[in-house]
Amino acid sequence: MTLAVYVLDVPEFEPLVQTAQDAGMQLRRTGDYVELSSSRPEITLNREGTGIRTALWHAALTGGLDGRIVAFTSETIHLQEAAR
């Protein structure tokens, strides 16, 4: 199973994309989106240091997700593979 997040491919989300890559996620551009995937069963992304405003951070998952949200706060996104 793979955990994946789809983020709109715009400059505003580039710091999030970099944070995800720093956390070990792989990047693949697909049309208007960036697919960030991981073979790890859990991933935590931290807003600290990204420079992303809180409102934009909360819009980060609007492109979709293959997995489940464990916790989503103004500072972290903790994701886990979906149970199948």
Three-state DSSP class for residue 66: strand
The count of structural domains within the chain is 1
Closest CA to 23 of 39, 12, 1, 34: 39
Q: How confident is the model at residue 1 (pLDDT cuts 50, 70, 90)?
A: low
45: pLDDT strictly greater than 80: yes
CA distance 71 to 39: 19
Domain encompassing residue 15 = 3-80
The stretch 48-58 carries a mean pLDDT of 92
pLDDT per residue as tens digits for the range 2-39: 899 999 999 999 999 999 999 999 999 999 999 999 99
The CATH number linked to 55 is 3.90.56.10
Mean pLDDT, rounded, of the chain: 92
75: pLDDT strictly greater than 70: yes
Q: How confident is the model at residue 82 (pLDDT cuts 50, 70, 90)?
A: confident
